[in-house]
Amino acid sequence: MRILFLSHYFPPEVNAPATRTYEHCREWLQQGHDVTVISCVPHHPMGKAYPGYRNRLFQVEEKDGIRAIKVWTYITANEGFIKRTWNYVFYMLMAVFVAPFVGKADVVISTSPQFFNGLAGYFVSRIKRVPWVLEIRDLWPESILTVGAITNRQVIRILEYLEMFAYRKADRIVPVTDAFKTYMVGKGIDENKIQVVTNGVSLDFYKPQDKSHALAKELGVEGKFVAAYVGTHGMAHHLETILEAAEQCESQDIVFLMVGDGAERERLLSMKYDLSLNNVVMVHQMPKDKMPALWSITDASLVLLKKSDLFKSVIPSKIFESMAMQCPVILGVEGEVKGIIEQAEAGISIEPESASELMQAVTKLHHDHKLTEKMGENGRKYVSEKYNRVVLARSFEDLMIGLCSKVE
């Protein structure tokens, strides 16, 4: 089977969509399929081409056997609605433009968000005259409305129309949560064309290891209990909760580590300095090969989102990496993901946006080493049984094989 995957992000970028796409494609390749990925020149989230890359019209490289095509786009940092929209639209146009030149395909997959990335799959699949699988990792435009990124009602109506257009035209829809599927069925989409393939984790890459004292020393957290947030510093995450909790912290042995970039980082950095928070360490995004070492020095993983009914349907992918690394999760998200953490007994759930509850949870884990260790062991066991990326990729593969066989 020849698989053409459209993804705005792909390694060396290290965000969740890049990781999910790469790990699925790697598994499909190992199963004997031919895999091509069309993505942007790597630039997320800082808005600059990564070292070794130029924003050229078309460039091809091989990533562990995967044919990775990088196309020119309007590069901008992960901030500012208008600029980011141009970034997404340009990718869609370029993906459609290069599609006729990348060889034959049996199936086209596009992943959303970003919204126009998802929609690109429709046009490319029509050019290729093959089935289209639309992967939904987040609900757009609902998620951007929730954080207040758009208020213009006319723009909202257009985006809502395009959302329904994509759902109806896709041959199969692959959401990452059951709640997303329920939402789509509620919109009138045939549930028989929807198959959930959750996020997961590569258990071979993310596995327990000895603490990296070199990295702890480099970051200035050696000898401390490290409560770490790793990921995008965006509007949806309400990361000031971490700074507010750090302000309440009385222990000299606890440090809050924030790793990543995003639209809110500079504001949060200013807030840190204004509050003179010496127990908060903020560093830029790290390369993927450093992630296991980073998790090894993390005693508690902070997974936070704004308090919103919409986010009750979200399952942040970083919980699976944390659990695979035997790192207990402090979860400030309600809904489906809360059920996962509680069923696994792999962490502590708190009220979203509650700095006092966050501080209490960190303190509890800091003082109870046996509980911290037990929750970590529970998490590894749970994801090994239910969220193994290899198993999930093969479920996705079965869907594509079934779809292609119907066409034949």
Domains, the chain, in order of start with CATH, read: 2-200+388-407 (3.40.50.2000), 213-386 (3.40.50.2000)
Return the higher-pLDDT residue of 74 and 240.
240
Report percent pLDDT > 90 for the chain. Answer: 75
What is the model's pLDDT at position 309?
Answer: 83
Backbone angles phi, psi at 78, to 5 degrees: -80, 60
Q: How many CB atoms lie within 10 A of CB 94?
A: 21
pLDDT exceeds cutoff 60 at 149: no
- Average pLDDT estimate for 74-103: 84
What is the model's pLDDT at position 173?
Answer: 97
In the chain, the amino acid numbered 326 is Q
In this structure, the strands spanning 329-332 and 347-349 are parallel
pLDDT tens digits, one per residue of 163-181? 889 999 999 999 999 989 9
Coil/strand/helix, residue 385? helix
Work out the burial of residue 125: count CB atoms within 10 Å of its CB; fewer than 13 is exposed, 13-18 middle, 19 or more buried: buried
**37 near 10, Cβ under 8 Å?**
yes
- Among 116-120, 150-154, 156-160, which stretch is predicted with the lowest mean pLDDT? 150-154
- Average pLDDT estimate for 134-158: 71
Q: pTM here?
A: 0.86
Residues belonging to the chain: 408
Q: In the numeric block, which tokens belong to residue 165?
A: 């257009």
C-alpha to C-alpha distance for 293 and 206, rounded to whole angstroms = 10
* Beta strands across the sheet bearing 107-112: 58-63, 66-71, 34-40, 2-6, 107-112, 132-136, 172-175
**70 near 83, Cβ under 8 Å?**
no
Q: How confident is the model at residue 83 (pLDDT cuts 50, 70, 90)?
A: confident
Work out the burial of residue 406: count CB atoms within 10 Å of its CB; fewer than 13 is exposed, 13-18 middle, 19 or more buried: exposed
Work out the burial of residue 395: count CB atoms within 10 Å of its CB; fewer than 13 is exposed, 13-18 middle, 19 or more buried: middle
**Mean pLDDT across the chain:** 91
Q: Which helix (H) or strand (E) holds 242?
A: helix 240-248
pLDDT tens digits, one per residue of 189-218? 999 999 999 999 999 999 999 999 999 999
